[in-house]
């Protein structure tokens, strides 16, 4: 984004605020806030053959694009189909690292927030998958704040995506307050986010996302000083917009388990010693 003088507006703004802080002795901006409505498109029957993922369209091409779109928040290997990648970034967007780089270069110490965003599919499992993926990314990348902006009247599956972090058991069961390293072998088809609690490191919660149209078996290995013996399982699938409790899993191996994720699903695993 450039201003009338062809300067990158955010870089100019941050640099000016930093300079003013020097002259006043006071920090003038604590948080840089942006809005983010993805422009990614997927193949559809609409005129032109494509539909933006923020729509409520659930054709296969749009659903596939919606499930991948969160990768544009961070992934330097992913290029979405949008005017942004074609005419602005000329490749991967990397929104959060891109903005953090501007902050680091022009006004270090400024936090980052996104107070409007929406990935569409408000009442479809693809919307829940994107929402859950986005929340995990926001937490992992250290976003100061984020706010969903509703674009549809029925948002049940979007709320289900929130529940997988904040109310997976219907009793305010929550993802931990401390993010931990969690990786998968193929972020295009599956992602995982992990947490512990600062006051109770033995309380570990994982959110596992399967973007595939078929079940996928996941081998999960955990590095921790605590040995876990049980995993409580809560699932969100296209069959229901609220998390469903499943049978517990017993960890017969030392801090390792095999778990089959249902097709197009979000699963919260609560690990217990």
Average pLDDT, the chain: 96
Say whether pLDDT at 113 is over 80.
yes
Q: Is residue 3 part of a domain?
A: no
Q: Is residue 158 part of a domain?
A: yes
Regarding predicted confidence, which is higher, 7 or 19?
A: 19
Domain with 51 in it: what CATH number?
2.60.40.1180
pTM, two decimals, is: 0.95
- 68 touches 42 (CB < 8 A): no
Q: Is residue 84 part of a domain?
A: yes
Neighbours of 167 (CB within 10 A): 17
Taking alpha carbons only, the member of 237, 233, 220, 216 closest to residue 272 is: 233
- 188 touches 216 (CB < 8 A): no
Taken in order 89, 91, 94, 98, the sign of the CA dihedral is negative
Query: pLDDT digits over 27-62, tens only?
Result: 999 999 999 999 999 999 999 999 999 999 999 999
Encoded tokens for 100: 């953090």
Q: Is residue 81 part of a domain?
A: yes
Q: Is residue 1 part of a domain?
A: no
Q: Is residue 2 part of a domain?
A: no
Domain range holding 137?
9-272
Query: pLDDT digits over 160-213, tens only?
Result: 999 999 999 999 999 999 999 999 999 999 999 999 999 888 899 999 999 999
* Residue at token pair 């409505």: 37
| Number of domains the chain contains | 1
What is the rounded average pLDDT of the residues 110-120? 98
Taken in order 86, 53, 70, 216, the sign of the CA dihedral is negative
Encoded tokens for 184: 């998968």
Q: Is residue 234 part of a domain?
A: yes
Q: Is residue 217 part of a domain?
A: yes
């Amino acid at each position: 984004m450039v201003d009338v003088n062809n300067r990158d507006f955010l870089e100019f703004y941050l640099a000016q605020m930093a300079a003013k802080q020097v002259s006043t002795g006071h920090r003038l901006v604590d948080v840089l806030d942006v809005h983010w409505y993805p422009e990614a498109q997927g193949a559809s029957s609409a005129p032109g053959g494509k539909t933006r993922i923020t729509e409520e369209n659930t054709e296969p091409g749009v659903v596939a694009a919606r499930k991948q779109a969160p990768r544009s928040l961070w992934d330097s290997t992913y290029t979405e189909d949008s005017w942004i990648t074609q005419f602005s970034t000329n490749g991967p967007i990397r929104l959060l690292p891109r903005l953090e780089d501007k902050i680091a270069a022009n006004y270090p110490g400024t936090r980052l927030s996104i107070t409007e965003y929406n990935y569409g599919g408000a009442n479809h499992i693809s919307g829940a998958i994107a929402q859950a993926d986005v929340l995990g990314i926001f937490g992992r990348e250290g976003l100061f704040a984020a706010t969903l902006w509703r674009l549809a009247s029925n948002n049940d599956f979007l709320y289900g995506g929130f529940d997988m972090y904040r109310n997976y058991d219907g009793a305010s069961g929550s993802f931990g307050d401390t993010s931990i390293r969690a990786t998968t072998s193929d972020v295009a088809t599956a992602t995982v986010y992990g947490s512990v609690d600062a006051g109770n490191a033995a309380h570990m919660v994982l959110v596992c996302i399967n973007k595939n149209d078929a079940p996928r078996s996941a081998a999960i290995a955990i590095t921790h000083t605590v040995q876990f013996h049980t995993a409580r399982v809560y699932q969100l699938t296209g069959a229901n917009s609220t998390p469903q409790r499943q049978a517990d899993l017993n960890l017969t191996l030392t801090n390792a388990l095999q778990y089959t994720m249902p097709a197009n699903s979000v699963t919260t695993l609560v690990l217990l010693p």
